[in-house]
Amino acid sequence: MIIMKNLKWLIGFGILAASLLFIMLYPIPSLLSWQSGFLAHCFFVLMLCFVMCFFRVMAGPTPADRAVAIDTLGILIVGFCAILSIPTGRDWYLDIAIAWALQSFIGALALAKYLEGRGFDE
């Protein structure tokens, strides 16, 4: 009875756990594995987050939902750049992260102004 009640939750949790296990156990022939094999798996965990955000971008019932998902996507990409800079040892990945955080913030403000339905010069 309890299982029938929570069936939707169980299916979702099962799919998520299965994909996480698949990501963590699948042997990735990565270019980065000469320094750290573990970090190469971390990229694909973030890819899973990207897929969830893209689902919300496509399915969001109102424009505000899509704006929230795009803002989240911008913050996740900053984390992606940070992970990428550790095994390769190239510090300009973090320059990309700074620029991306700035433009994501300004983009979120512009989307909010657009949702508010007024001009930009107030």
Partner 1 sequence: MNSIQQITGMVFIIVGLGFDIFGCIGLLRLPDVYNRLQATTKCVTLGTCSILLGAFILKGVSTTGIKAILVAIFLLLTSPVAAHALARGAHKSGVKLWPKSVVDKYEQDGN
User: Closest distance between partner 1 and the C-beta of residue 66, in Å?
Assistant: 10
State the residue for tokens 């980065």. 32
Nearer to partner 1 among residue 2 and residue 19 (C-beta): 19
Element (H, E) at 9: helix 7-25
Who's near 64: CB < 8 A, 6+ residues apart?
A: 115
User: Closest distance between partner 1 and the C-beta of residue 28, in Å?
Assistant: 16
Nearer to partner 1 among residue 4 and residue 113 (C-beta): 113
Alpha-carbon gap, residue 115 to 63, rounded angstroms:
8
Nearer to partner 1 among residue 29 and residue 96 (C-beta): 96
* Contact set with partner 1 (CB under 8 A): 16, 20, 38-39, 42, 45-46, 48-49, 52-53, 55-56, 62-65, 67-69, 71-72, 75-76, 78-79, 82-83, 85-86, 89, 91, 94-95, 97-98, 101-102, 104-105, 108-109, 111-117
* Amino acid sitting at position 17: A
Element (H, E) at 98: helix 92-116
User: Closest distance between partner 1 and the C-beta of residue 31, in Å?
Assistant: 19
**Residue 39: closest CA among 53, 50, 54, 23:** 23
Nearer to partner 1 among residue 4 and residue 8 (C-beta): 8
